[in-house]
Chain A
Amino acid sequence: MIDSTNYQIQFPPGRVAGCLPRLSRPGAICPMAADRIKVIPRAEWSDLASQLAVGKGLKPFVRDVLDQASVGSCGMESSAGSVMVSRVFRGLDHILLNPLSGYHFTCHGVDRGSSIDENLEFIREHGLAPESVWPRSKGWRAEPSEEAMAAALAFRIEEFYDISSIDEMVSALLQGYPVVYGANGHAVCKVRHLNEDQGEDLNSWGPEWGDGGFGVWASYRAINWQYGAWAVRVSSEA
C-alpha cells in the first residue's frame, strides 16, 4: 500500500525544482475539463478505482520511468510520461520519447524550469522526438534536428483538459486519462487513485525514487493550482 508518509516532499540530492506557474488563463488554450470529463460522485471512486486495471489504475500502461537527472525539465518530463501512458492505453506501440527535444524550446534557453501548460501546448503542436531519433544524451541545449522534429509530429497530444478541482482530477483518472499537475515546485503525472486524500504519481526521477519510480508526490489537497493540472488525451492516429 502506497502511503504518502513514505515519500517526504523533498528534493533528493541532485534534483532540482522546475515547475513554474501556469502561463495561460483557465480554458484559454484548451477546453475546461468540466466540459469534457464527466464528474464521478465521490461515493463511486473507491469501487471504480479497485476495478480500473484491477486496482492499479493506469500503472500497467507505464513502460518506462523517465529520469530528468539534474535538469529542471519536470514539466516536460511529466507531460511526456502522460503521452506515453496514453499511447499504450490506446493500444499504440510504446515509443520512448525524449522530453528534452521539447524542453529545449519551452525553457527558452535557460534551465530554470517550465510551465506545464506551455509544455502541453508545445506537444500538441510539435510532438516529442523519439529517443531513437534524438536521444536524451544530446542534452537540453541542443536544438533538435529537422529529422527529429519531423519524427516528433507522430507523437503529439490530441487535446488536454484544464482541471480545476480534485473531483475533476479523480474523474479523469478513473476514465483512463493521466493527469499532469504541479505541487511543491515539481511536476508529476498522476496515474492511479488511491483514496479520497491521494493518488499515486509517476515521477521522472528514475526507478530508484519511491516504489520503482512511483509514489505520492503530493496529496490532492497539496496540489498547487497556480501550477495547474491537466488531463491528457493522445490521438489514436499513429
Chain B
Amino acid sequence: MSRFCAMLMASLLPSAVCMAADGIRTDVVFKVPFAVDGQLTINRAEITVDDAGRTTLTVHYVKGQDIEVVRYRVIRQDGPEPDPDPSPEPEPDPDPPAELWGIVVEESGERTAQQAIVLADPEVRALFRSSRFRIVDQDEAAADMRSYVRRAKDEGMKLPALFLVAPEGTVHYEGDLPATPAVMSTLIRTILGKVP
C-alpha cells in the first residue's frame, strides 16, 4: 500500500503539506487525529484527485452542532523511488470500534426540551447496546461514571457533555452534545465506520 504522512496543524490552517514517500493512494477513507477548538478528536478523512490532477485531503469533523468539512491541498514532494516490490501487503486501516458506550454528563435541572429530544431519540438509542447509553447527573453519578463527570469538570466542558467510548476505554469523542439527533447519529456512525 502506498503510504503518506499527513501533517495536520493543531489549528485549522488553510492548507497542509502531505509528504509522499512512495505515492499517494486515493479514494480511501481513513481516520486522522484532528484538533477542534483545542480538543483532539478522531475524524473521517479521504484523499481525492480531481480531473486536473490536484490532490485534496478532506476531513469531516464535528464542531458544536454541525458536521464541518475542511479540505487541504496535498503537495507531493520528490521522494525515494517506489518499492521494487509491486504488490506489498497493505497496511490495514485502524479498525473502527465494534460498539460504543455513550455517556452524557448533564446538570439535570438545566436540561432543555431540545436536549431531551436528542437524548431520547430512538435512532440514537438504537446505535448503542442496551444500557450502554447513560445520562448521568454531574452531582449524582454512579461509581463507574464518575471519571467522566470529573473529566467534564476538570476540562471545564460545557454541559451536557458527551463522551463516546469504546469498550476497552478509548475515548473517540468528547465534547458538546450535538444539537440534533441527526448530527448525533452521524457522529456515532462515523466513529463506528458506518458512514459510507
Which A residues lie at the B interface, using CB under 8 A? 36, 38, 40, 44, 48, 51-54, 58, 60-61, 89-93, 158, 171, 174-176, 233, 235-238
Contact = CB atoms under 8 A, between A and B. Distances in A.
B39 interface: no
A91 B113 contact: no
Contacts of B143: 237
Nearest to B109: A36
A38 B131 CA distance: 28
Interface in B60-96: none
B112 A38 contact: yes
Nearest to B180: A51
B111 A91 contact: no
B131 A91 contact: yes
Interface of B: 108-109, 111-114, 116-117, 119-122, 130-137, 140-143, 145
A145 to B, nearest CB: 26
B162 to A, nearest CB: 13
Contact of B116 (A36, A52, A237): A52
A54 B112 contact: no
A60 B120 contact: yes
A235 B137 contact: yes
B135 A90 contact: yes
Contacts of B122: 53-54, 60
Contacts of B120: 52-53, 58, 60-61, 89, 176
Given A89-B135, A91-B133, A92-B134, A236 B142 contact: yes
A237 B135 CA distance: 10
Given A175-B111, A176-B116, A53 B121 contact: yes
Contacts of A48: 113-114, 117
A175 B134 contact: no
Given A60-B122, A175-B112, A176-B116, A236 B134 contact: yes
B121 A237 contact: no
Q: Which 6 A-B pairs have the closest CB atoms?
A: A176-B116, A91-B134, A236-B136, A174-B113, A53-B120, A237-B142
Looking at chain A's contact residues, is the secondary structure mostly helix, strand, loop, or mixed?
A: loop
Contacts of B114: 48
Contacts of A171: 113
Given A158-B140, A176-B119, A233-B108, A92 B131 contact: yes
A40 B141 CA distance: 27
Contacts of B113: 40, 44, 48, 52, 171, 174-175
Contacts of A38: 112
Given A176-B116, A235-B140, A238-B142, A54 B131 contact: no
Nearest to A171: B113
A58 B133 CA distance: 16
A176 B106 CA distance: 13
A236 B145 contact: yes
A27 to B, nearest CB: 16
Nearest to B119: A176
Contacts of A235: 137, 140
Contacts of B117: 48, 51-52
Given A48-B113, A48-B114, 14 more contacts: A44-B113, A53-B122, A58-B120, A91-B133, A93-B131, A158-B137, A175-B112, A175-B116, A176-B119, A176-B120, A236-B134, A236-B135, A236-B145, A238-B142
Contacts of A237: 140-143
Contacts of A60: 120, 122
A236 B137 contact: yes
A36 B145 CA distance: 24
